[in-house]
Structure formats: structure tokens, C-alpha cells
């Protein structure tokens, strides 16, 4: 792998049984340089992706352009596309394919982070550990390398890196630092140290079910069954609360999408039905929902109800 070759001190040497250079000519041939109209087309395609719209047709066209021109000319547009449509793994692949030669350390760090985000921890560790291990390795690289190693199932190697890089942890009060180190100790069979660190993490972020569940397991391992059971109960309550929140969020998000479609199609009866469904879930959106209701009722010639909605809107606005 070229990337690893460079990380480990220069490009990989050809093996003895590599094919003759001429056989590689078609592979190594530079991709065609995009024309001005292709560049403009690529930019236009990239602009079609927004927070609300994943344009699958444009993505398909970008894939074709990538196949023809190589990844570099379409990189920015694809980042836009993957950012909208999802595709953390594709984003990491794109970053790996478009690394400069030799790659800058900052780009490798970014690539490692992208691999982590795509849950590709082995590849993340392969990129990040050499940076973290290098003389004067950045503590950010150490943190990320530790993160990747721990998630990849190697707590022993992860622990010193997490410790050295903990200033880069996230979460309230950098709570992720003691949390991950506690988890590493738990995996390494040191529940007492795990409990100590995880209690630190809980003190910083007691609402994080990940931290509390780790503490519950550590307490159980340490033999403190009563405290473990209490922590386990708290974890369940936290997850229940989060699930409720998520359910509300997903429900309203889905209804918003349905409302947009019904509105665009001028299906006013459907608009009214969706507004009705959204009402209890989204108190903060009620003025907007009332505007929908007023317009839909007016278009349906249900004027008295529209007037009532207008009055209700005035009241709601007055309350705010």
C-alpha cells in the first residue's frame, strides 16, 4: 500500500516478480485533464447538494466523471456529495486516493480521523500510529492513534497514547479522556483503576450512558455488585431518555419531509393532516405550522377555519 510505504519511510520498492514497466503503462497513464466545461460541470454538480437534498443523479454523474478523470478534479464536489448523502467510508477512500506525495502529516492526521469516523479502525491505526510514534509525535496524533487502537481491540498499545494525548479528548471537561483510559484498563483486567478513572469521567459527564455503563461493568468486575446494579439502572434510564428524544426528533423530521412534499404538490388536505400530526411533537414550530394551516385552509375555501387559525397565530405570537 503506497500510503503505508510512505508512512514507513519512503515509497515501497517494487517486488522482484512485479510486471515489466511497459505492462503498467496503461495503469500509470495520467488521467485526462478536465476541460473547462467539465470543470464547470463538476462545480455545478457539487452545488446541487445541500443540507436538505442528496441529488442521486448528480452523484451518479460525479461517479462517472471520477472514473474518467480520476478523483482529484471531482474531489471537492464529491466531498460536498458525501457530506450530504452520507458516506464516511467513501470520504476516507477519497482522501486516501488524493493524498499528495509525500503526504503532509496534517493530511495523514485528517485521513486517520476519517478512517475513525468510518469505523475503519485498523486502517486508522496504520496511518496514525507511525505519526504518534515518531519523535515529537503530536499529542493529537497520539490521542487519535489511541482512540483507533482501543476501538480496534488493542487496549495495551492504546493506553499510553490516550494518556499522552488526553488534552485532545472531547466531551464536557474532556470526559472522553478518563472514559477511554478507564475502558482500556477494564479490558486489560484492572477494574480498580478502571473504576477510579470512570468515576472521574462520570463526575465530568454523568449524563453520558457510555461512561456510566462502563462504570457499571467496572464496578461489577471489581466486585461492588450493589453500586454496579445502581449504575446499570442509571444507564437504562439514560438510554430510555435518549431513545424518547430520538423518537421525537425522527418523527418530526419525517413529518417535515412529508409536509414539504405535500406543500410542493399543493395537496392541502394532506398538509392539514400532517400539521395535525406534528402539533404535539413540535411546540416550537407552531407559528410555522399555523401559517401552513392558514394557507391550506384558505386554498380549500374553508375561510372560517382559516380565520380561526389566524387568530390562533396572533395569540401564539403574542405569547412569544
Partner 1 sequence: MSPAAQFALGPAALLCVVLGLGCDRRAPPAPSLFPDAPSTSEDAGRTEASPASTPAAGISFDEVAAAWGLAQRHHGGRSTAKWLPETMGGGVGLLDVNRDGALDVLLVDSGALFGQAPPESGHRLYLGDGQGGFRDVTESWDLPPRGYGLGVAAGDVNQDGWVDVFLTTYDGQDRLLLNDGGKRFLDVSQAWGVPSEGWSTSAAFLDIDGDGDLDLYVVRYVAYSPKTAIECWFRSIHIYCTPARYEALPDRLLRNDGDRFTDISESSGVAAHPAKGLAVTTGDIDRDGDTDLYVADDISRNLLLLNDGGVFTEAGVLKGVAYSELGKEEASMGASVTDVNHDGQWDLAVTNFQSEPTSIYVGREGGGFREQSDKLGVGASSRAALSFGVEWLDADNDGDDDLAVANGHISDNVATYRDGVTTAQANSLYRNDGPRGFVDISTSAGVPFTDPAISRGLAVGDLDGDGGLDVVVRNNEGATSVAANRSDRGHWLSLWLEAKDHRATVGALVTAQIGETTLLREVRGGSSYLSVSDSRVHLGLGDATSVDVVVRWPDGTEQAFKGLKADRHLHLTQGGEPTAYTPGAAVIAP
Distance CA 162, CA 140 (A): 10
The least CB distance from residue 119 to partner 1, in Å, is 5
Of the candidates 148, 152, 154, 99, the one whose C-alpha atom is nearest the C-alpha of residue 128 is 148
> And the C-alpha cell for 38?
467539465
Cβ proximity to partner 1: between 7 and 151 the closer is 151
Q: Identify the residue among 34, 84, 103, 126 touching partner 1 (CB under 8 A).
A: 84
- Three-state DSSP at 84 gives helix
> With binding defined as CB under 8 A, does residue 267 bind partner 1?
no
Determine the size of the site formed for partner 1 (CB under 8 A). Answer: 98
- Three-state DSSP at 179 gives helix
Q: Which residues 8-47 are close enough to bind partner 1 by CB under 8 A?
A: none
Q: Identify the residue among 99, 164, 282, 308 touching partner 1 (CB under 8 A).
A: 282
- Residue 102 has, within 13 A of its CA and on its CB side, a CA count of 10
Contact (CB, 8 A) for 235 and 212 = yes
> With binding defined as CB under 8 A, does residue 93 bind partner 1?
yes
Q: Identify the residue among 44, 67, 243, 311 touching partner 1 (CB under 8 A).
A: 243
Q: Which residues 157-216 are close enough to bind partner 1 by CB under 8 A?
A: 168-171, 176, 179-180, 183, 187, 208-211, 213-214, 216
Cβ proximity to partner 1: between 26 and 189 the closer is 189
Distance CA 174, CA 204 (A): 8
Q: Which residues 62-81 are close enough to bind partner 1 by CB under 8 A?
A: 63, 79
Task: State the DSSP H helix or E strand holding residue 64, giving kind and residue range, or none if neither.
Answer: helix 56-69
Q: Which stretch binds partner 1 (CB under 8 A): 6-14, 17-25, 28-36, 251-259?
A: 251-259
The least CB distance from residue 301 to partner 1, in Å, is 19
Q: Identify the residue among 11, 32, 102, 254 touching partner 1 (CB under 8 A).
A: 254
Q: Which residues 125-144 are close enough to bind partner 1 by CB under 8 A?
A: 140, 143-144
> With binding defined as CB under 8 A, does residue 277 bind partner 1?
yes
Q: Which stretch binds partner 1 (CB under 8 A): 16-24, 38-46, 239-247, 308-316?
A: 239-247
Cβ proximity to partner 1: between 110 and 196 the closer is 110
Q: What angle do CA 174, 177, 178 make, to 5 degrees?
A: 110
Q: Identify the residue among 242, 265, 269, 311 touching partner 1 (CB under 8 A).
A: 242
> With binding defined as CB under 8 A, does residue 53 bind partner 1?
yes
Distance CA 88, CA 120 (A): 10
Helices 36-47, 75-85: crossing angle, 10 deg rounding: 20
Distance CA 163, CA 182 (A): 11
Cβ proximity to partner 1: between 13 and 58 the closer is 58
> With binding defined as CB under 8 A, does residue 58 bind partner 1?
no
Cβ proximity to partner 1: between 70 and 209 the closer is 209
The least CB distance from residue 52 to partner 1, in Å, is 4
> With binding defined as CB under 8 A, does residue 114 bind partner 1?
yes
Three-class DSSP labels, 234-289: HHHHHHHHHHHHHHHHHHHHHHHHHHHHHHHCCCHHHHHHHHHHHCCCCHHHHHHH
Helices 225-264, 268-278: crossing angle, 10 deg rounding: 160
Q: Which residues 292-311 are close enough to bind partner 1 by CB under 8 A?
A: 292, 295
Distance CA 147, CA 168 (A): 11
Amino acid at each position: 500500500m503506497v500510503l503505508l510505504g510512505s508512512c514507513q519511510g519512503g515509497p515501497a520498492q517494487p517486488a522482484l516478480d512485479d510486471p515489466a514497466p511497459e505492462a503498467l503503462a496503461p495503469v500509470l497513464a495520467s488521467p485526462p485533464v478536465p476541460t473547462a466545461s467539465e470543470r464547470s460541470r463538476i462545480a455545478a454538480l457539487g452545488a446541487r447538494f445541500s443540507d436538505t437534498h442528496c441529488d442521486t443523479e448528480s452523484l451518479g454523474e460525479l461517479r462517472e466523471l471520477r472514473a474518467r478523470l480520476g478523483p482529484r478534479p471531482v474531489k471537492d464536489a464529491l466531498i460536498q456529495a458525501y457530506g450530504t448523502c452520507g458516506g464516511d467510508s467513501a470520504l476516507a477512500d477519497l482522501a486516501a486516493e488524493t493524498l499528495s506525495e509525500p503526504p503532509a502529516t496534517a493530511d495523514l492526521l485528517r485521513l486517520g480521523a476519517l478512517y475513525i469516523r468510518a469505523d475503519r479502525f485498523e486502517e486508522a491505526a496504520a496511518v496514525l500510529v507511525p505519526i504518534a510514534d515518531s519523535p515529537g509525535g503530536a499529542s493529537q496524533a497520539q490521542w487519535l492513534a489511541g482512540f483507533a487502537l482501543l476501538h480496534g481491540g488493542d487496549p495495551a498499545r492504546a493506553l499510553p497514547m490516550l494518556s499522552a494525548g488526553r488534552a485532545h479528548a472531547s466531551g464536557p471537561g474532556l470526559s472522553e479522556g478518563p472514559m477511554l483510559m478507564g475502558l482500556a484498563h477494564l479490558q486489560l483486567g484492572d477494574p480498580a483503576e478502571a473504576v477510579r478513572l470512570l468515576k472521574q469521567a462520570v463526575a465530568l459527564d454523568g449524563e453520558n450512558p457510555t461512561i456510566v455503563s462502563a462504570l457499571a461493568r467496572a464496578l461489577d468486575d471489581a466486585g461492588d455488585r450493589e453500586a454496579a446494579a445502581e449504575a446499570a439502572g442509571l444507564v437504562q434510564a439514560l438510554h430510555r431518555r435518549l431513545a424518547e428524544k430520538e423518537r421525537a426528533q425522527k418523527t418530526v423530521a419525517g413529518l417535515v419531509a412529508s409536509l414539504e412534499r405535500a406543500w410542493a404538490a399543493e395537496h392541502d388536505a394532506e398538509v392539514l393532516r400532517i400539521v395535525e400530526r406534528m402539533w404535539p411533537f413540535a411546540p416550537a414550530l407552531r407559528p410555522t405550522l399555523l401559517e401552513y394551516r392558514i394557507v391550506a385552509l384558505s386554498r380549500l375555501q374553508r375561510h372560517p377555519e382559516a380565520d380561526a387559525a389566524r387568530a390562533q397565530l396572533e395569540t401564539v405570537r403574542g405569547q412569544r
